Amino acid sequence: MKTTPLLSIASAVALTTLLAACGGGGGGSSSTTPTPTLYTATCANGTTRSSTVSQSDAAAQCFGDTNVYASTIVTSVPADTYNAVTQAEEKAAFNLLNQERSSCGFGKLAQNTLLDTAAQGHADWLLKNNYVGHFQVAGTPGFTGVSLADRFIAAGYSGIGNSEVSTNYAGSNSKTGKGIAGIRGLLEAPYHSIALLSGFRDIGASIRNASDAASSYSPSVTTEFTLGYTASSPYQAIASSDILTYPCQGTTGTGYRLTGEEPSPIPSRNLATSPVGHPIIVMIRKGRVLTLTSATMTKVSTGAAIPLRTPVTLANDVNQGYYEANFGYVLPDVALEPSTQYQVTINGSNGATAFTRTFTFTTGSVNY
């Protein structure tokens, strides 16, 4: 079980915003304290491979998986049942995430009412106890389970993989726009976005404020997203030859600057005063090894080159143990501009097979 990374960003209405993520059992974001267990294998050629899943998963990466696998991506799920009035923010968040996942090839998530229950229980507990994190304390108001796994069991969800990501907006009880803001904010952070883009099958959502939770603390809003998969609805996987990115061709409305994340993608830099741009997340099939060799980004209207930092994969990630071998990201070294189209070219390899991907995306007018 992984614990609490916090992402501090400036929200659209200048409220203090905290984002937290937790993952386990097959995907998700990771944490800072304690560091998730990192399994390391030494390969025959002297290199090492690492995994947060298992020792055998790390060892398997020494050789790569050259088998050909078909996609098990989910392309259709039932319509959500969130109430259009009382759960408008949950509905907006659910539909936006599925829109972004589906358009970029990551597969859709199905609403699960048991996960909705787990999400609401933890959101209310966070508000009642003025806390941001993933572990509850027995005997405190609104207690529903110490760990995420405990809360899934209490809600009746028999998951074999789980994750949760959340945001907190302090200073107001207004929930308007917080569903969209929560999803956009998580997707613009490299160590948090992977929870929402991984191969989970089910999701629960809850957008709650201090009044909803009968909290005695200051006004605030918490958005909570819980993700899982089960033995009967297993982890969805892309085909062995696929290379996915987020953003991808035609994506619109993304954030355009990252002003803070913990763990920080650049520990030596104060992102609050020197922000970076929206990351480009790259994913291949789980169990294979991604290599990113180079990337370029240009502003389409002028052709101006955007400076990029060295592409990051498991092999060179400064925060070892957070990314699996099939994920990587490219980070603009400067903030991007709002409502602006960019072209990206990424070169790398999926196992031993080289690839090039070129696409355009457009930032939104609001940063989250």
Spell 62-71 as b/e; 16+ CB within 10 A means b: eebeeeeeeb
Rounded Cα–Cα distance for residues 330 and 359 (Å): 14
Identify the pLDDT of residue 320. 84
| β-strand pairing of 220-229 with 244-246 | unpaired
Q: What is the pLDDT of residues 52-105, one digit of tens each?
A: 666 656 666 665 666 788 999 999 999 999 999 999 999 999 999 999 999 999
Average pLDDT over residues 8-36: 36
Find where tokens 């999400």 sit: 119
* CATH code assigned to 6-31+71-229: 3.40.33.10
Average pLDDT over residues 288-299: 96
Identify the pLDDT of residue 287. 84
Tell me which of 303 and 262 has the higher pLDDT.
Answer: 303
Of the ranges 144-153, 193-202, 257-266, 339-348, which one carries the lowest mean pLDDT score?
A: 257-266
Nearest to 144 by CA among 129, 122, 126: 122
Rounded Cα–Cα distance for residues 87 and 180 (Å): 13
Find where tokens 């259709």 sit: 76
Triad 84, 85, 89: Cα angle to 5°: 75
Of the ranges 63-77, 122-136, 148-162, which one carries the lowest mean pLDDT score?
A: 63-77
Identify the pLDDT of residue 62. 63
Do the first three CATH levels of 6-31+71-229 and 244-363 match, i.e. the same topology? Answer: no
Give residue limits of the domains in the chain.
6-31+71-229, 244-363
Average pLDDT over residues 114-129: 98
Rounded Cα–Cα distance for residues 1 and 37 (Å): 9
Q: What is the pLDDT of residues 214-232, one digit of tens each?
A: 999 999 999 999 999 998 8
Q: What is the DSSP string of 221-239?
A: EEEEEEEEE-SSSPPP---
Q: At 362, is the pLDDT very low, low, confident or very high (cuts 50, 70, 90)?
A: very high
**C-beta atoms surrounding 285 within 10 Å:** 22
Q: At 252, is the pLDDT very low, low, confident or very high (cuts 50, 70, 90)?
A: very high
The CATH architecture of the domain made up of 244-363 is Sandwich (2.60)
* pLDDT reading at 213 higher than 70: yes
Q: At 205, is the pLDDT very low, low, confident or very high (cuts 50, 70, 90)?
A: very high
Identify the pLDDT of residue 10. 27
Identify the pLDDT of residue 2. 29
Identify the pLDDT of residue 341. 98
Identify the pLDDT of residue 260. 85
* pLDDT reading at 185 higher than 70: yes
Rounded Cα–Cα distance for residues 229 and 255 (Å): 28
Identify the pLDDT of residue 101. 98
**DSSP letter assigned to residue 63:** H
Percent of residues in the chain assigned helix, strand, coil, to nearest 5? 20, 30, 55
Identify the pLDDT of residue 262. 77
Identify the pLDDT of residue 56. 59
The beta strand positions in the chain, using DSSP E, are: 6-10, 16-24, 39-42, 48-51, 110-111, 161-170, 202-209, 220-229, 244-246, 252-254, 280-283, 290-299, 312-313, 327-330, 341-350, 353-363
CA 233 to chain centroid: 20
* pLDDT reading at 16 higher than 80: no
Q: How far is CA 54 from CA 27, 61, 156, 164, 231, in A?
A: 12, 11, 26, 20, 18
Most confident of 51-55, 293-297, 324-328: 293-297
